Structure 1
Amino acid sequence: MFTLELKQNDWLELIINYFYIHSMSCHFHHNDTILKTKIENKMGHLFCACLMVAAVASSSTPPGLNSPKTDMSFSFNHALVITSQRLEELRQTPSLLLVYFFINELPRTSRKFFEEYDKSAKYLEAYNVQLAVFDCKADMSKEEHCSNVKAGRNVYSYKNGRQLLEMEVETMFDVNSIMSHALQLVLLQDVQIIQSRLERQALQKSMIGKNDIFFAYTQAIGTKEHRIFMEIAYTYQDRYKFALTTELKSTLGLQENEYLKSSTSLAMWVLFCSDSNPEQFFQSGNCHHIMYKGEISLAAVATFVKNLAEPVLYHCPTNEISSMKNLPLSLPTIFIYSNRELADFIKFEVDSLVFDVRGFARIMLVEMDNGECQAQAKQQGFHGKLPSIGIQLQNGEVAFMSESTEWLLSTLHEFLEPYLYPIDHSAQESNLELAHSTDLERITASLIEEVETQDDQVADAVFRLHLKEMELDLIPPLAKNNFYSTLKSAELKMVLFYLPFDQVSMAFLRDFGEASQILSTMYSDHDVLARVNCFDATDLCAAENITTYPLIRIYQRDEETQDYRGHLYSKSIINAVKLLQLKSPVLLKSEKEVEMFMERHFPNKFSEFSSSAVLLLSHKEHQEARSTFVDVTKSMSTITAFGIVTEELVTHIAKKYGAPITSVIAFRQEDINRQKSILAGKISVASLTDFVKQSTISSLPELTQINFPLLYEKKLPFAILFVDPDDQSSEVAKEMFTKLAMTGQFEKAIFCYMDAQPKTIGLKILSEYTWTATLPAISVVDHRLGEVFNYPGDNLEQSQVANWLDSVFSNKEKPAKILEQGVWVAPGRHYDFLAMMDEKRSILRIQAEEESNIEAEDSSLTNGARASVLLTEDELLKIDEDIREELLELRNSRLYHQSPERRKPGKTESPQGHSVPLVKQDVAQGHGHSHTEL
Structure 2
Amino acid sequence: MPQNSLNTQLTIFSRKCNQERCILYTLENKVNCTNEHIEKYCTGEKLMKKVYLFRGGNVLKSFDTDTVFDVNAIVSHVLFTVLFDEVRYVHTIAELQSVERAAKGKADIVLGHVQVLGLPEHRALMETAFVYGVKYQFVLTTGGPVLTNMGVEDISSLTAGLWFLHCKGASQSQHSDPCPHTALRRALTTLHIYTFLQLMEAPLVVRSQSEASVEPSEVNMVHSHLQVPLLFLFSQPHTVALDRVTAQTLAWRLRGQVGLVLIHRESPDVKIPLEYNAAYRLPGEGSEVKYLILNNLEEVIDLFRDESTPEEEEDDDNWATLGDAVSMAFMQSYIEVSESLEDADVSDVELAVLDCGEWTDVCSAQKISFFPTVRLYRPQEPSQPYQGMLGTESLNRFIMLSRLVSPVLLSSPDEVTSFLKGDLYQRHAAIAPVTVLGLFSSTADAGVSVFKEAAKALRGETMVGLFADRQAEIWAVEYSVTLPAILVSRGPTGQTEAHSLNLSMPDQLVTHIQRALLDTFPELTVENLPLYLELKKQLLVLFVGEEERGRKENRVLEDMRSLLNTGLINPYLPCWIHLGRTPAGKAVLEAYLGFLPLLPALVVSQLATGGEVFHYPTGRPLMVQPILQWLQRVEDGEEPPTGVIVDEKWMPSMPFYDFLSVMDQEVPGYASQRSAKTKTSRIERAEGEKSSSGERQARAGAHNPQGSPTTKPPQTPHHHSEL
TM-score normalized by the length of structure 2: 0.44
Q: Which protein is bigger by CA-based radius of gyration?
A: 1
The structure with the largest helix share of the pair is 1
Higher relative contact order structure (alpha carbons within 8 Å, sequence separation ≥ 6):
1
